[in-house]
Amino acid sequence: MRTKVWMVLSVLLAVAMLLAACQPATPTPQVIIETVVVEGTPRVVVATPQPTQPAEQRKVLRLAWGPGDIPTIDTALAVDVISIQLIDSMTVGLTRQNEQTAELELAMATEVKTSEDGRTYTFTIKEGVPWVRYNGKEVEQVLDCDGNPRYVTAYDFEYGILRTLSPATASDYAYVLYGIEGAAAYNQGETDDPSTVGVKALDEKTLQITFIEPAVYNLNIAGLWVAHAQPKWIIEGDDCTEGRGERWTETGFYQGYGPFTLKEWVHDSEISIVKNPFWPGDAVVPSPKIDEVHWSLIDTSAALAEFEAGNLDVTGIPTGDIDRIISDPKYQDMLRDTYTLGTEFYAFNTTKAPTDDVRVRLALALSVDQEAIVKNVIKTGSPAHWFTHPGVAGAPKPEKFPNLGVYYDPDRAKALLDEYLKEKGLTADQLDITLMFNTSEAHKRKAEAVQAMWKEVLGINVKLTNQEWKVYLKQRVAGNENIYRGSWVQDYPDANNFLREVFADNNGTPGAYQDVVNWPVAESEDGRIVYTPGTNPLYDKFVELVLAAAKETDPDKRMQLYAEAEKILVVDAAVIVPLQWYASKILVSPRVVDTPSITGYDRYEKWDIKS
């Protein structure tokens, strides 16, 4: 009779299994999807099994990122750090930022000539760099329809920039290239003639790019990932290649030419890139010493566990583990600082009382103790006293400007606020101020710390409120509160990308935070700030400074100009309270020889692994 019970149980199990088998994603005949034709050769592309390590050790660098999938490795579509990191490892721009000095170097361009008016740049492209792909066993050169290797040419760069700008590509970051003549009009569909864009391949090795205005950072923009060469044949197809559209970045199809190339991308799980033996190494982008870089796409906590189990070479540290790791002597030599060129800040709504008065804003700013917050609450970054992260070109450096910006000054803060209160006939506890942030435990802790400081120094009871991320973004623009949390991470490492592109007008495109701070004015029409020059002298001066800095070629003078602009932004007009410049701690295994980066991007071609 006991068998009856087991029958019931086993029926249950069987039902469970059966349900699983006939679940809705009815099995697709996998062969149809997996069999693809690559340049005329039938080839079954199946995710390759992990190769067994041969006797002589292959040097594999084991990293982690996540959780979640890498958004894209499509040159034209990438917007985030890991996507750009991978793209920069697999393709190389005309120029490339040195990760240790933050200086710009010529990479795929061997020479650049600037025209008289400073707007047109003529690049000579490095010769003999073939397009490559991983064929499941090894890296091979990509052949054209006549069977000759395809080399990277000026035409590939021209195609790359035009594909990014094409409205049909719908690239998020196309706007970073708006500095190029005709780029905005083409991307916005005002013309569908790509020849109106200021990008011309004069011959196979000469590329000419014309910008709207002469600026120091133009060369920086020419080297950005969205301006890398792209393989037209695999994206759009040609006589002997099937076009893959947006799917060209998948395992087995991806083609690149940089120091590494894509080996395998198992979505949501792992991605690995292998050394490209055809990359002609030079001083700027050497040939890699390691054979493979492998990312496990896992959460930071999981990554730390894997690191501690000896399965990873580099890991981030979750906030909860920071204290334990930092105080553990065995990790002392493995700790590194790593930077994200970005800033976290609180932005004032300058049109809603009482933060419409600069004295209130400055009083609030002066009562925030950045050092204390970073040390006790955030634990990783470095205290920020002005907006632009010092790691980007042109930014004021703390060593040169030790007194720039806002510093904790309770006496001055109180004096400023008292003046305001006296004038209005109010008391501090009558002020109605609300700080809003996007929902997150970490942001809440920071907000509570600042709330306590404001209470203690000024006696103001600031209310806290939070909203889910996307709702928050909408509400921030609607502007019903006084203070909003904000953050900005570089698109390209230049102070122009911070001060001008965030708080000033850019040839008709408003700064990214202008509709949050409502500085210089609140009114806007379809996202355009309506402002009459001359009505806000501080803003006029700010714009004058950042425009002058954009064209200034002398680094010291440029830094001075940006320092003056920073003073207007954080002190004279007190539009924001800077909180921290982003930085974090990572652990690097002793077997890795790394080149610590200050730019937020690593150059793995310079790394090595001790055998």
Partner 1 sequence: MGRYIARRLIYLLVVLFVVSAITFGLMHAVPGGPFDREKALPPEIIENLNRRYHLDEPLLMQYGRYLYDVFIPRISATPPKGSVDDDFLITVKLGNVWFKWMNFGPTYSSRSRTVNDIFRQQLPVSAQLGIMALLVAIIIGMPLGILAALKQNTIFDYLGMSVAIFGVSVPVIILGPIMIWIFGVTLKWFPPTGWGAKPPFVLGIFPRELGPEFFRYAIMPSVALGLGSSAIIARLTRASLLQTMREDYIRTARAKGLRESLVIVRHALKNSLIPVVTILGPLFAALVTGTFVTEVTFGIPGMGRYFVTSITNRDYPVIMGTILLYALILVIANLVVDIVYAYLDPRIRYD
Residues 6-45 that bind partner 1 (CB under 8 A): 8-9, 11-13, 15-17, 19-21, 23-30, 32-34, 36
| Binder among 38, 39, 43, 47 for partner 1 (CB under 8 A) | 47
The only residue of 110, 509, 536, 589 in contact with partner 1, by rule CB under 8 A: 509
Of residues 88 and 491, the one with the C-beta less far from partner 1: 491
Q: Which is nearer to partner 1, 120 or 388 (CB)?
A: 388
Q: How far is the CB of 598 from partner 1 (least distance, A)?
A: 22
Q: How far is CA 15 from CA 1, 19, 26, in A?
A: 22, 6, 17
Q: Is residue 470 within the footprint of partner 1 (CB under 8 A)?
A: yes
Phi-psi label, residue 147: left if phi above 0, alpha if psi -120 to 50, beta otherwise:
left
Positions 118 through 157 that interact with partner 1 (CB under 8 A): none
Nearer to partner 1, 298 or 457 (CB): 298
Among 39, 69, 356, 419, binds partner 1 (CB under 8 A): 69
Site residues (CB under 8 A) for partner 1, limited to 525-554: 526-527
C-alpha–C-alpha distance, residues 77 and 171, integer Å: 5
Write each residue from 86 to 115 as x if it is in contact with partner 1 (CB under 8 A), else as -, in one continuous string.
------------------------------
In the three-class reduction of DSSP (H, G, I as helix; E, B as strand; rest coil), residue 199 is classed as strand
Here the tokens at position 248 are 């060209």
Cβ at position 47, least distance to partner 1 in Å: 6
Binding letters toward partner 1, positions 199-228, x by CB under 8 A: ------------------------------
Interacting residues with partner 1 between 232 and 291 (CB under 8 A): 244-250, 266-269
Beta carbons within 10 angstroms of residue 596's beta carbon? 13
**CB of 308 closer than 8 Å to CB of 587:** no
CB of 392 to partner 1, least distance (A): 15
Which of 581, 517, 417, 496 shows the shortest CA–CA distance to 176? 496
Which amino acid does the sequence have at 226? V
Query: Rounded CA gap, 200 and 158, in Å?
Result: 6
Per CB under 8 A, contacts with partner 1 among 582-611 are none
Q: Considering only residues 61, 63, 65, 74, which one is a binding residue for partner 1 as defined by CB under 8 A? A: 74
User: What is the smallest separation between the CB atom of 170 and partner 1, expressed in angstroms?
Assistant: 4
Query: Please, are residues 361 and 355 in contact by the beta-carbon 8 Å criterion?
Result: yes
Of 362-370, 407-415, 451-459, 488-496: span binding partner 1 (CB under 8 A): 488-496
Among the listed residues 302, 335, 377, 522, the single contact to partner 1 using CB under 8 A: 302
Residue 387 binds partner 1, judged by CB under 8 A = no
Q: What is the CA radius of gyration of the chain?
A: 27
173-192 binders of partner 1 (CB under 8 A): 174-175, 184, 187-189
- Whose Cβ is closer to partner 1: residue 13's or residue 452's? 13
- The C-alpha atoms of residue 178 and residue 192 are separated, in whole angstroms, by 16
Q: Which tokens go with 458?
A: 């000024």
Give ∠ CA 124-497-441 in degrees, rounded to 5. Answer: 130
DSSP assignments along 371-415, one per residue: HHHIIIII-SSEE-SSSS-TTSBTPPPTTT-TT-S----HHHHHH
Q: What angle do CA 521, 524, 530 make, to 5 degrees?
A: 65
CB of 234 to partner 1, least distance (A): 13
Residue 264 dihedral angles phi and psi, to the nearest 5°: -155, 140
**Secondary structure of 392-404 as H, E, C letters:** CECCCCCCCCCCC
Q: Toward partner 1, which CB reaches closer, 174 or 290?
A: 174
Euclidean distance between the first and the last CA atom of the chain, given in angstroms as a whole number: 64
334 binds partner 1 (CB under 8 A): no
- Residue-level length of the chain: 611
Positions in 557-576 near partner 1 (CB under 8 A): none
Instruction: List, as one string, the DSSP characters of 553-578.
Output: -SHHHHHHHHHHHHHIIIIIS--EEE
Query: Is the Cβ of residue 64 or residue 546 nearer to partner 1 in the bound state?
Result: 64
Q: How many CB atoms are closer than 10 A to CB 26? A: 6
Strands (E), 72-219: 95-97, 104-106, 109-114, 120-125, 132-134, 139-141, 199-203, 206-210
Does residue number 329 form part of the binding site for partner 1 (CB under 8 A)?
no
Residue of 140, 172, 213, 419 that binds partner 1 (CB under 8 A): 172
- Smallest gap from Cβ 69 to partner 1, in A, equals 5
Least distance in angstroms from the C-beta of 522 to partner 1: 16
| Contact track, partner 1, 449-468, x by CB under 8 A | -------------------x
Site size toward partner 1, by CB under 8 A: 91
Q: How far is the CB of 44 from partner 1 (least distance, A)?
A: 10
Is residue 309 a contact residue for partner 1 (CB under 8 A)?
yes
Nearer to partner 1, 341 or 431 (CB): 341
The nearer residue to partner 1, 63 or 458, going by C-beta atoms, is 63
Residue 68 engages partner 1 in binding (rule: CB under 8 A):
yes
Smallest separation, CB 301 to partner 1 (Å): 6
**CA separation for the pair 307, 311 (Å, rounded):** 5
Stated as kind and residue range, the H or E segment containing 268 is none
Check binding of 330 to partner 1 (CB under 8 A): no
